[in-house]
């Protein structure tokens, strides 16, 4: 059912915890499945130098959070903005259709943390994820997420 990479990131998650002096913090959740992700970013000179997460949810939610933090570390803000749920799933060698929503939450957690960073630093805002609390289509990005997200 789950790939070896998903199981590895679930059993041995990377970057769990908080960054006390985080430059950006984003929390997203999906009332349908009950998963909640909170992501913390440390950004220096436009580069994400550290990322941590706290997730309440299933094994796939933990694995996608873990992989998302691995994917964004060392990336510029613009590069991190380009990381999609599909990229998270590919890095994990796939997810079952009913768990694709976890990768969507990981993408949204990255975006929410970057949005918070922009707000804290008076930078131009990306309103794509404002008010988004899960992939219900309310943020207008549903068409960009995997068609088989199981919802």
- Specify whether 136 is catalytic: no
Instruction: Check: CB of residue 37 under 8 Å from CB of residue 133.
Output: no
Main-chain dihedrals φ then ψ at residue 61, nearest 5 degrees: -65, -40
Q: What separation, in Å, do the N-terminal and C-terminal C-alpha atoms of the chain show?
A: 18
Query: For residues 131 and 138, what is the distance between their CA atoms, to the nearest angstrom?
Result: 8
Query: For residues 18 and 108, what is the distance between their CA atoms, to the nearest angstrom?
Result: 18
Active-site residue, from 102, 132, 135, 139: 102
Query: For residues 135 and 121, what is the distance between their CA atoms, to the nearest angstrom?
Result: 27
- Specify whether 102 is catalytic: yes
Active site residue ranges: 33, 102
């Amino acid at each position: 059912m789950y790939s070896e990479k998903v199981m590895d990131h679930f059993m041995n998650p990377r970057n769990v915890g908080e960054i006390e002096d985080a430059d950006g913090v984003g929390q997203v959740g999906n009332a349908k499945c009950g998963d909640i992700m909170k992501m913390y970013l440390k950004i220096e000179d436009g580069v994400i130098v550290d990322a941590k997460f706290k997730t309440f949810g299933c094994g796939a939610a933990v694995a996608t959070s873990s992989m998302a933090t691995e994917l964004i570390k060392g990336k510029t803000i613009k590069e991190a903005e380009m990381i999609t749920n599909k990229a998270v799933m590919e890095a994990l060698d796939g997810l079952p259709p009913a768990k694709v929503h976890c990768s969507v939450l990981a993408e949204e957690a990255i975006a929410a943390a970057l949005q918070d960073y922009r707000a804290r630093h008076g930078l131009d805002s990306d309103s794509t994820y404002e008010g988004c609390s899960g992939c219900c289509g309310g943020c207008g990005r549903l068409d960009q997420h995997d068609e088989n997200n199981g919802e």
